[in-house]
Amino acid sequence: MTTDHDTTFEPFASHAFYREINRELVYRALSTADAEQPTWATRRVVDIACGTGAISGLVVGYWEEHGKVGELIGLDPSDSALQRARRAVQSRFARFVQGAAESLTSLVSAADVVLFCNALHLLEDKGRVLAQVRDTLNARGIFAFNSSFYEGAYAEGTQRFYRQWMVRAMQTVRREHPEMRTDRNAKVAAMRWLSADEYRALLAENGFTILHQEERTADLPLESWTDISGYTDFAEGALPGIPLKVAVPALQKAVREVFEEMQLTAVPRKWFQVIAQRA
Ligand SMILES: C[S@@+](CC[C@H](N)C(=O)[O-])C[C@H]1O[C@@H](n2cnc3c(N)ncnc32)[C@H](O)[C@@H]1O
């Protein structure tokens, strides 16, 4: 089990668009649960892959804004991320537990809402985890997830940007390290991006009804692309087989150049956002 926390995602997650997209999903999930069971006094919410607590903080914020009380359980395999989450989300409603999504049913039960933000795409066996989410939820419980790493995440008209970016990055790598080659087998199958249709099919197979789904577009400025270049999972996926200390600066340099050449101020990117209910 991973105990070290990879902090490379945090600069990307600190952008305003990131908070807004997740806030929309989390608030919609919690208000849907409230509408389903208006008489329940307390909600039990599980935040899978909570990391340093960005999503958990939104849940507590929702309860504060709406004068509600609840019990929030944040789960993550990384002990150091959980320590940071405990500091960031100081609420008597929240507690943080070490564990992977694959062990969900042995860690929590009887949840009203399960959230899984920006991480479901990382899992190898998504079906196995969705079955556990279903078993963890109370009848008519709500499951919400999102991802911007799915087949379809590239907004229309942005393919050229990605192509140019990767060509430029590889040119930089080759110039500085002529011996290096990308290795398409270096990236594990877990990172194959599923399509929205594949996610919908997995949800149906595992006993969920979709209540709301959208492909939400956000305009990402240059700084967010340089930040995502520094995220380990992203850099390994973009330039598989190239060591991170070479891949990250190459991606960052290339994206700055492509923004300038194509005279871009932002590049749109899509998030697949889903609210589903245990049937
Ligand atoms: C990109 S961060 C997302 C953090 C947060 N949910 C958000 O939306 O900002 C991915 C998180 O997934 C966690 N993670 C990776 N593998 C996991 C697994 N098998 N089960 C649960 N969490 C996992 C990592 O430790 C990391 O904190």
Domains of the chain: 7-154+192-219+270-278 (3.40.50.150)
Nearest CA owner, ligand 1 atom 11: 49
Pocket test for ligand 1, best of 118, 132, 148 (most atoms within 8 A of CB): 118
Give the ligand 1 atom nearest the CA of 22: 8
Q: How far is the CA of 183 from the centre of ligand 1 (A)?
A: 25
Q: How far is the CA of 231 from the centre of ligand 1 (A)?
A: 13
CA dihedral 70, 73, 134, 112 (to 10 degrees): 0
Q: Give the pLDDT score at 174.
A: 96
Q: How far is the CA of 214 from the centre of ligand 1 (A)?
A: 22
Q: How far is the CA of 249 from the centre of ligand 1 (A)?
A: 24
Between the two ends of the chain, the Cα-to-Cα distance in Å is 32
Nearest CA owner, ligand 1 atom 9: 54
Residues of the chain with pLDDT under 70: 1-5, 41, 187-191
Q: How far is the CA of 49 from the centre of ligand 1 (A)?
A: 4
Q: Give the pLDDT score at 147.
A: 98
Q: Give the pLDDT score at 38.
A: 78
Q: Give the pLDDT score at 1.
A: 41
Q: How far is the CA of 153 from the centre of ligand 1 (A)?
A: 19
Residue by residue, DSSP assigns the chain as: ---S--GGGHHHHTSHHHHHHHHHHHHHHHHHHHHHSTT-SEEEEEEET-TTSHHHHHHHHHHHHHT-EEEEEEEES-HHHHHHHHHH---TTEEEEE--GGGHHHH--SEEEEEEES-GGG-S-HHHHHHHHHHHEEEEEEEEEEES-SBT-BPTT-HHHHHHHHHHHHHHHHHH-TT----GGGS-GGGPPPBHHHHHHHHHHTTEEEEEEEEEEEEEEHHHHHHHHTSHHHHHHHSTTS-HHHHHHHHHHHHHHHHHHTT-SEEEEEEEEEEEEE-
Nearest CA owner, ligand 1 atom 3: 118
Residues with CB under 6 A from ligand 1: 9, 13, 22, 48-51, 54-55, 76-78, 81, 100-102, 117-119, 122-123
Token look-up 């590239």 returns 154
Give the ligand 1 atom nearest the CA of 231: 1
Q: How far is the CA of 38 from the centre of ligand 1 (A)?
A: 31
CB-based contacts of 126, cutoff 8 Å, min separation 6 = 120, 194, 202
In the structure encoding, which two tokens stand for residue 39, read together? 């008489």
The predicted-structure confidence for 37-78, as pLDDT tens digits, reads as follows 877 767 999 999 999 999 999 999 999 999 999 999 999 999
Closest CA relative to residue 113, chosen from 131, 136, 97, 91 = 136
